[in-house]
Amino acid sequence: MTCQEVVEVMNRYLDGDLDEHERVLLMEHLKNCPDDQELFERLQRLSEELEELPKVTPPFSLVDSILPQLAEIDALRDAKAAQAAVMDEEWTQAEEAAAAEGGSLGSRRASRKRTGWLGRRTAAWGGATAVAAAAIILAVSLNGPHPNRQTAMLESKAPAAAGNASEYSVQEAADTGGAALKSVEEGTGSSEPATSPTAVSDGSRGTGGGSRTKASTSPPPSARVGGIGGASGFDKADPNISGSANMGGPSMGIAQFPSPPASPSPGMEQGIAGQGLAASTASPDGKYSYTVTGTLLEVFDSGDKKLAELKMDGELQGSPSWSSDSTTLAVEVKDSSGAVKKFKIVAAEGTVEEQKS
């Protein structure tokens, strides 16, 4: 045995990794080599010391100490699920109503249904969408009646031109207050079509009231429905009102929007973000999602069909991020040497490409 081999065998001895034959060889070698014998004894003593390190225990129950946070996580989960259910129901109602009317509006919405956008994709109707929905509600609650109404009017002015305005607005809802407001019209505006302009102002007032009395919480459902009804009412009932309202300064209305906090429930979201939990893994349009299991990153479509996978030979660096058009997932992996590799996964094609830097 060479000296290097002996050191390795000694170490494996300490870990109980030698078979009988190797053990005999080691002992024979040590008998004839005082230097290695001494090293062996030192290593053995070190190993014994390490085994005797105090088995420390926490000074208090860690689980008890995090129970409130766990309860918050549960509450947030439940809230998201409930919100998703409400939104989904609103969609269904809207589509049924629209289909019954059979007008141009109806066909526009029906076409959404055929294209299977967001609301119909239950798999994708999870984290990202629920957050977007929450942002919408927050934006409504933060804004007084006027900007709200003006935006609704502004938006309603060109529904036909905005071919896929719904996708656009909800996608942006998570980011900006202005966009969130737009999505009030497009996103929730589809439920409970109102029949008269009167309903509009009622709805707006209801929403505004909500913002004053319930500063940081969601407005009551009635306020939401009111605002929603208002938007829809304008949408089809009276384009002229939109025109006049625009003269009142829609841009001013938008400029007045406060930037909403990043989350619908700041305390709760911060609590979670602070704990480093993974954010939603769904793409902005909800068509794709990814999961990370150990070193395996997998990309799925909304039907849970696997499209691509990446076996990472290191640790995930930050969170993978979707491109804004939802086609591509960018992933950074740090290997054990500290080198960062960048990958691009094109979901629809199932391709994984390493980006050379």
Q: Which stretch binds other proteins (CB under 8 A): 54-62, 115-123, 218-226, 255-263?
A: 54-62
Query: Distance between CA atoms of 257 and 118, rounded to whole angstroms?
Result: 26
Taking the least distance from each CB to other proteins, the nearer of 19 and 247 is 19
110 is an interface residue for other proteins by CB under 8 A: no
Q: Which of 55, 212, 305, 356 binds other proteins (CB under 8 A)?
A: 55
Contact call for residues 145 and 205 (beta carbons, < 8 A):
yes
- Residue 62 CB, shortest distance to other proteins, in Å, is 5
59 is an interface residue for other proteins by CB under 8 A: yes
Query: Distance between CA atoms of 312 and 336, rounded to whole angstroms?
Result: 11
Indicate the helix (H) or strand (E) that contains 310. strand 306-311
Total count of residues recorded for the chain: 357
CB-based contacts of 107, cutoff 8 Å, min separation 6: none
20 is an interface residue for other proteins by CB under 8 A: no
Contact call for residues 144 and 173 (beta carbons, < 8 A):
no
Q: Which of 18, 25, 43, 110 binds other proteins (CB under 8 A)?
A: 43
- Residue 208 CB, shortest distance to other proteins, in Å, is 37
Contact call for residues 282 and 128 (beta carbons, < 8 A):
yes
Taking the least distance from each CB to other proteins, the nearer of 235 and 332 is 332
Q: Which of 114, 294, 305, 356 binds other proteins (CB under 8 A)?
A: 294
354 is an interface residue for other proteins by CB under 8 A: no
19 is an interface residue for other proteins by CB under 8 A: no
Determine the number of helices (DSSP H) and then strands (DSSP E) in the chain.
14, 8
CB-based contacts of 128, cutoff 8 Å, min separation 6: 174, 280, 282, 283, 284, 286
Q: By CB neighbour count within 10 A (0-12 exposed, 13-18 middle, 19+ buried), where does 346 fall?
A: middle
Q: Which of 32, 53, 114, 161 binds other proteins (CB under 8 A)?
A: 53
Binding to other proteins in span 64-93, by CB under 8 A: 65-67, 69-70, 73-74
Binding to other proteins in span 332-351, by CB under 8 A: 336
Q: Which of 8, 28, 89, 354 binds other proteins (CB under 8 A)?
A: 8
Instruction: Look up residue 116 and give its amino acid.
Output: G
Query: Distance between CA atoms of 16 and 268, rounded to whole angstroms?
Result: 49
Q: Which stretch binds other proteins (CB under 8 A): 125-133, 135-143, 145-153, 272-280?
A: 272-280
Tell me the CA distances in angstroms from 24 to 19, 45, 257, 283, one per residue in order. Answer: 9, 20, 80, 60
Contact call for residues 173 and 187 (beta carbons, < 8 A):
yes
Q: Which of 21, 58, 240, 304 binds other proteins (CB under 8 A)?
A: 58
Q: Which of 11, 92, 201, 327 binds other proteins (CB under 8 A)?
A: 11
Query: Distance between CA atoms of 198 and 258, rounded to whole angstroms?
Result: 27
Query: Distance between CA atoms of 166 and 185, rounded to whole angstroms?
Result: 9
How many residues interact with other proteins (rule CB under 8 A)?
A: 45
**Contact code string over 301-320 relative to other proteins, x by CB under 8 A:** -------------xx-----
Q: Could you list the residues that contact other proteins (CB under 8 A)? A: 7-8, 11-12, 14-15, 17, 42-43, 45-47, 49-59, 61-63, 65-67, 69-70, 73-74, 275-278, 291-295, 314-315, 336
